[in-house]
Amino acid sequence: MNLQVSAIFLLAMAAATAIWLVPKARALDVMACSTLLVLAAFSWPTAVWLLAAILLCWAALKAGERGTSRNLVAASLCVILLTAFVAAQFTSGILWLGASFFTLRLLHVAGEWWTGRLTAPSLPALLRYQLFLPVLVIGPIHRLPHFERQATRRRWDNATYFSGLERCLIGFVMAHFLGDVVIGRIAVRADYWTQGLPEFLGTWILSAIGWARLFFIFAGLSAVALGASLMAGLRLEENFNKPWRAESLLDFWNRWHMSLTSWSRDYAYKPVMALTRSPLVGLIAAMLVIGLWHDMSLYYVCWSFWQALGIVVSRQAGKLVPVASLPRPFAAIVVPLGILAWLSAARPVISLLLGVDHDPANALF
Amino acid sequence: MTPLMRFFERLLPGWLVWPALTATYAAMLLLLALFDPVGSGQIIYIDLRQ
């Protein structure tokens, strides 16, 4: 596993333990200071960016509360945050730590404030929310109201602390051993085995293995993040919910990287749907957010359309042959395999369409 | 009580829960210590742009 990722998670676990030694009222302030120090040590440009973005968000929302047009404030804030994020995507040579996660969190705060569901948070509250070390690298994209509720309720409990510690250990094994070592080695061998196959089929098989590997690494590291949060006394939003049990592609996206899916549902699907009155346009917008979140490239634009098409197709197929009508063992095997086949077909199909074999390092799906 | 402990309590007699739990933790730590990573940092490249 990447040493920096492991080091940050171990530091998060240490910080989650250490904050129990300081008074409860100051615990998350200490965590925020630790996060800033860790960020500055690993990537000072990210630390400067994150701090500047928090200050900007706080100042803009305060100005909005004092009478500046809410629409103008929210729109300007979104444009600035997104521009900074896109600029970072195209800046090489700098390590950007958790850039997409904190950008989406700030957009969530701006969006909720704009709709009136949230009052402008104080600067310390915003700092505590954004500078929470366990979720720095891998998310989840937790929500401010939930975080504040959890922060208010946090209290020492042996079972909670040790459940968090245990979850970290299980998460490390999932990511490091199952994802990295076991499926990583299968992927290396599959690369060799598929050399005799037609290119399309070979890429498809490798992409399917890539999805399995990504699940173990991403769900494992998410478990470490949530486990470290639990060690600090906060139960944050889950990121995965048994995606292999999905009954359709839409169901799959509601179980895979759930915090990103719910973000794109709330801030892309619903607004676009409300504007256009077209669920299809809303779906494409939501999938574009998810796709471009992975990488700002033509490949991921095509990938988003492929996934939106898959959701439409699987919905129609579900109407013709409801999953409930299929024999249970058959459905339990065939439906997840069908979903995996569609997800992993994206890479060979788009590579064929674009006429280039997309760099596997940049196209895991 | 942790989730693994609850899991073992459902499966095993009471006196075996702690040994099973200890063995599981030891096995997990051993797996982490023994195997060299291949580079999972690459797979979450989106948040570790180097």
Question: What is the ipTM for the molecules in this complex?
Answer: 0.80
According to the model, what pLDDT value does residue B19 have?
95
pLDDT tens figures, B1-50:
899 999 999 999 989 999 999 999 999 998 888 876 545 444 444 344 33
3-state secondary structure (DSSP) of residue B48: strand
In this complex, the residue of A95, A169, A173 whose CB is nearest that of residue B48 is A95
- Check residues A21 and A318 and name the one with the higher pLDDT: A21
Contact between B25 and A94 using a beta-carbon 8 Å cutoff:
no
DSSP symbols for A70-114:
HHHHHHHHHHHHHHHHHHHHT--SS-EESHHHHHHHHHHHHHHHH
Note whether B44 contacts A217, CB cutoff 8 Å.
Answer: yes
Count of Cβ atoms closer than 10 Å to residue A38 Cβ:
20
Contact status of A119 with chain B (Cβ, < 8 Å) = no
Q: What is the pLDDT of residues A33-57, one digit of tens each?
A: 999 999 999 889 889 999 999 999 9
What is each CA distance from A357 to A22, A204, A220, A303, in whole angstroms?
A: 54, 12, 29, 14
Query: What span, in angstroms and rounded, lies between the C-alpha atoms of A264 and A287?
Result: 8
For A267-313, the pLDDT digits (tens) are 999 999 999 999 999 999 999 999 998 888 899 999 999 999 999 99
Rounded Cα distance, A142 and A236, in Å? 7
Contact B41 A4 (CB under 8 A): yes
